Each structure stands twice: as structure tokens, then as C-alpha cells.
Amino acid sequence: MSHEPKAAHQACSHPESHVHDAAAYLAEVEAVCRERGLRLTALREQVLRLIADADRPVKAYALLDQMRDARGPVAPPTVYRALDFLLANGFIHKLESINAFVGCHHPRHQHSVPFLICRGCLATVELEDEAVTRLLLGQARALGFEPHAQTLEVHGLCADCVAANAGR
């Protein structure tokens, strides 16, 4: 899974459970499912594998197209149910602003994290800094707001795209 730009690596808040590559990520999700008594069906695993193998965020209909190529006809609700399962169990994240999905580097820890999304190449970085999440929740509660979900996505250019644009 290469959701991080080559030029920068974010400090990890749970390095003991950070999964770096697609094969290790899939194995970790399978282990977590066994431990939690969850059923990782062949279809759910296929959706997860497609997300893990992608080097950028993946939209649901792109997943559907890839699955049709491999399996034949697949109904959209089938893919959405698989995505719902993976989201509900913290194995993937949904990038709301671009309506796409990325694998979670920490499938053992359900969490809400900010994302950096490059508008040039769509490289996506899961910011692994719990202080940002705590700060937002704390400020919301200080205002009497009871948060139920949190999505923070910062759009801009990754280091590679900044460098590429500087050469123009």
C-alpha cells in the first residue's frame, strides 16, 4: 500500500501495529477478523485486496469494474455491503471529499484520523497523530457540541508534485 508520498514519512502513533505493505495488511486484517469472530468472506477479501493493491484512493465504481473483470457480473449493492463491513470494522477509511476508499495502516485500532490528499496525483497520507483528533474533539466539546463522527481532509500538493511543478 503506498498511500504515503516518497518524500515524507509521518510519525506513527501506534508503530506496533502499523502495516506497511499490501500482503502484511491483508494478513493482519484476516488475523483481526479471526480474533473478533468476524467473517471475512471471499468477496470482502477481494474488495480489501483491490483497495490494498491500489496506490491511490479507489472509488466504489472502480472497484466494481475491477471485480466484474475478475468475477463476471457483480451487483453494486454487493460491493457497497463489503465496503460497509470494512468501514464498520476500521479496516478502511472513506475519504468523503473525493468519495473514495483507502486502506487503514492500523487495522487493529479503530480511529479517526486527518488525511492529506494531493490534488495533483491523489497520493493520500493518513496523519497518524492522535493529538489533532483530540484537539478537534476537545474544541467541539468546549462549545457544547457532541461529536459523533469526524472527517478532516486537507487538500493540497504532495512534496513530489510541488517539486514537479517547481521545474515548470
Dist. CA 48–CA 25, nearest whole Å:
9
Dist. CA 147–CA 75, nearest whole Å:
34
Res. 12 pLDDT band, cuts 50 70 90? very low
- Residue by residue, DSSP assigns 111-139 as ----EEEETTT--EEE---HHHHHHHHHH
The 10s digit of each residue's pLDDT in 144-153 is 999 877 788 9
Res. 11 pLDDT band, cuts 50 70 90? very low
The 10s digit of each residue's pLDDT in 51-92 is 999 989 999 999 999 988 777 788 889 999 999 999 999 999
pLDDT of residue 19: 58
pLDDT of residue 43: 93
**In this predicted model, which residue has the larger pLDDT, 168 or 23?**
23
What pTM, to 2 d.p., does this model score?
0.80
CA angle (161, 125, 37) in 5-degree steps: 150
pLDDT of residue 130: 77
Report percent pLDDT > 90 for the chain: 54
Res. 4 pLDDT band, cuts 50 70 90? very low
